[in-house]
Amino acid sequence: MRPERRALIGLLLSTAAVGLRAQITPREPALQHGEAPLPGLGGPLDLIDQHGKPFRLQQLKGEAVIVFFGFTRCSQSCPIALAQWQAVVANMGMRRPPRVVFVTLDPLSDDPAALKAYVAGFGPQAIGLTGTPTQIDEAARRYGIGVEQGGKELAHSARWFLLGPELRPMRAYKVSTPPALLAQDLTKAQQFFDANTAWQKGRT
C-alpha cells in the first residue's frame, strides 16, 4: 500500500473515532442509595444569596448540586445535616464534593449576613439563599418541604436533593443516611458531571 493511501486511511479512521466519541453522551449514574423523588418536585430558586446578590439556580447548570432546606437557628435536623455533610466530605477524600445550596425557611431571621456565617460550615463553595416569606414558601412547596410552627421553633422535613443535569431532583436522601453511603452516590454523581463537562467541551 502506498504511503499516501495509508496516511489517508489513518486520517479517516481517526476522524471517525473522534466523531463516535462525540456522539456517546455520558449516562446518568446508577445511584444506589436514597430514594427517587416524587415526580414534579424541584424548580427555580430565584432568591438572594449570602452576599446580598440575586441568584438563579441556572447559574449552576453543568455542576453537581445538592440542595437542603433549613434555617440557621435550627436545633434539630440542621445540625445533623451539617455534621453529616462534613463526614461526607471526609469520606470523599480528594474528590471535589457537589455544591451545597442551603435555602433558609426563616427569611425574617436569616439575612445574608447570618447565612454567610452559617453556610461556611458546608465549605467555601456553599451557597446560602434567602428571600421574601412568599418566595421561600413557594420554593419550599416546589421541593415538597413541609413546615410547621412547633412552639418556639420551626419544624420542617429534612431531605438532601441531588440535582440532575437539568437542575431537577434526581435523588433524595434523609439526614439519617450514613455519610459513607451518601458519599458513594455523590462520588458517582461528581464523576458523571466531570465526564459530561469533558464531553461538552469535546463537541465544541
pLDDT tens profile 1-14 = 555 555 444 444 44
Residue pair 119/112 in contact (Cβ under 8 Å)? The answer is no
pLDDT tens profile 52-83 = 999 999 999 989 999 999 999 999 899 999 99
Q: How far is CA 25 from the centre of its chain?
A: 20
Q: Which three three-digit cell numbers place residue 198?
A: 469533558
pLDDT tens profile 98-146 = 999 999 999 999 999 999 999 999 999 999 999 999 999 999 999 999 9
CATH class for domain 47-203? alpha beta
Q: What is the pTM of this model?
A: 0.84
Q: Where are the domains of the chain?
A: 47-203
Q: What is the 3-state secondary structure (H, E, C) of 86-142?
A: HHHHHHHCCCCCCEEEEEECCCCCCCHHHHHHHHHHHCCCCEEEECCHHHHHHHHHH
